[in-house]
Amino acid sequence: MVLPTRRVVVSGMGLVTPLGCAVDEFWNKLTAGTSAVAGITKFDHSRLSVHIAAEVKDFDPTDYMDKRTARRMDAFAAYAAAAAIMARDAAGMPIAPEAERIGALVASGIGGLTTFQAEVEKMIDKGPERVNPLLIPMIIPNMGAAHVSLELGTKGPLSATCTACAAGSNAIGDAFEAIRRGDAVAMFAGGSEAPICTIGVAGFASLRALSTRNDAPTEASRPFDIGRDGFVMGEGAGILLLEELEHALARGATIHAEMVGYGMSSDSFHMTAPDETGESQARAMTNAMRQAGIGPEAIDYINAHGTSTDVGDIAETKAMKLALGEHAAKVAISSTKSMIGHCLGASGAIEAAIAVLAIERGVIPPTINLVDPDPECDLDYVPLTARAVTVAVAASNSFGFGGHNVTLIFKRFER
């Protein structure tokens, strides 16, 4: 028996980012080419080789929940809950009447790393009996999803993905599939991360993955530029409210875009390095296009994974050429990590929201700091300045440590 395929639309968005905690504020700064990278303020970084990051500023969890609840969450869970509340409110989505048909699927690549570090330090200093009794539920990566459900009152499907830097995209893709097969009428989906602490920065710095352009932080994240020397750590959360089309229409929801494609693949290559040929990443793109029922020529914009690492940017360029063929030279591509850094498990979700906004608002955000393109990264990466253009179809790439590759595709909604 062939089951009917349900159409899935985006009816709400919520963002907590280094460029602001409201969709319009974030979008205005992003399209203006504003960098959020600056000196680290969250901890003493004097003994580290890296002194810069893209931190979330001016976020107060008590704007979204009571103080007691906020104290019982790691920052990554608070970011997720706040972004989901924003998405619910923006969509005007009533939860209680259909709670059992509304779910949450929220990812994190690392979970409560800051809480983990603080409690280990407390244990060493004051003894194991002083460890917070809520340590475990504060650090496990599923708690972003759990707190979204707790705060919103959803009682439908509840899950969390943990696929490194592809996690946020996997969460959106899995939620998309849950609605398509009829498991839910709506899903709050995305990712959240709060990794900017001593052990988080030290760990990535030890991998030599991070930029050490400490004296020029706003210029440090420079995807596809010949002078790139690693990524900049970011943090935040992005939540999309995905909704079955007929349900959204019945309640008069504003539809921002339709989600039409979700493709995955694996590298089977290395723990941290990407498949240098780009072939594995290209298969994720091809799989997403196949599900969407479109060819390469339909894609107007790609939000690239574009981390500002030497091997990664070249591999993604090769992947887009393999997947798109001749159209690769014609499509507009940008890496918004140049402005907000790499938000790890949240990056795919934030970037999916950017793809949706590009469709809705007709502007492609730039890749800032791209002043001297790497000859091996020779596609149209929308350097330095945003571009006003009609975007009918947008894709978003996310590639994670361990070889997790994901592509999401959205298009302008048409009845």
State the catalytic residues: 165, 305, 342
φ/ψ of 173, rounded to 5, equals -65, -45
SS3 content of the chain, % helix, strand, coil (to 5): 40, 20, 40
For 219, the 3-state DSSP assignment is helix
φ/ψ of 394, rounded to 5, equals -130, 140
For 148, the 3-state DSSP assignment is helix
Contact 335, 351 (CB under 8 A): no
From the number of C-beta atoms within 10 Å of its C-beta (0-12, 13-18, 19+), residue 327 rates as middle
φ/ψ of 363, rounded to 5, equals -135, 135
Contact 266, 20 (CB under 8 A): no
Q: In 3D, which of 412, 406, 170 has the Cα closest to residue 286? A: 406
**What is the CA angle 304-160-182, rounded to 5?**
90
Cα 67 off chain centre by:
27
Q: In 3D, which of 78, 36, 32 has the Cα closest to residue 55? A: 36
φ/ψ of 336, rounded to 5, equals -80, -5
159, β-bridge pairs: 105
Q: In 3D, which of 109, 106, 59, 70 has the Cα closest to residue 87? A: 106
Name the E strands within 120-208.
158-159, 186-193
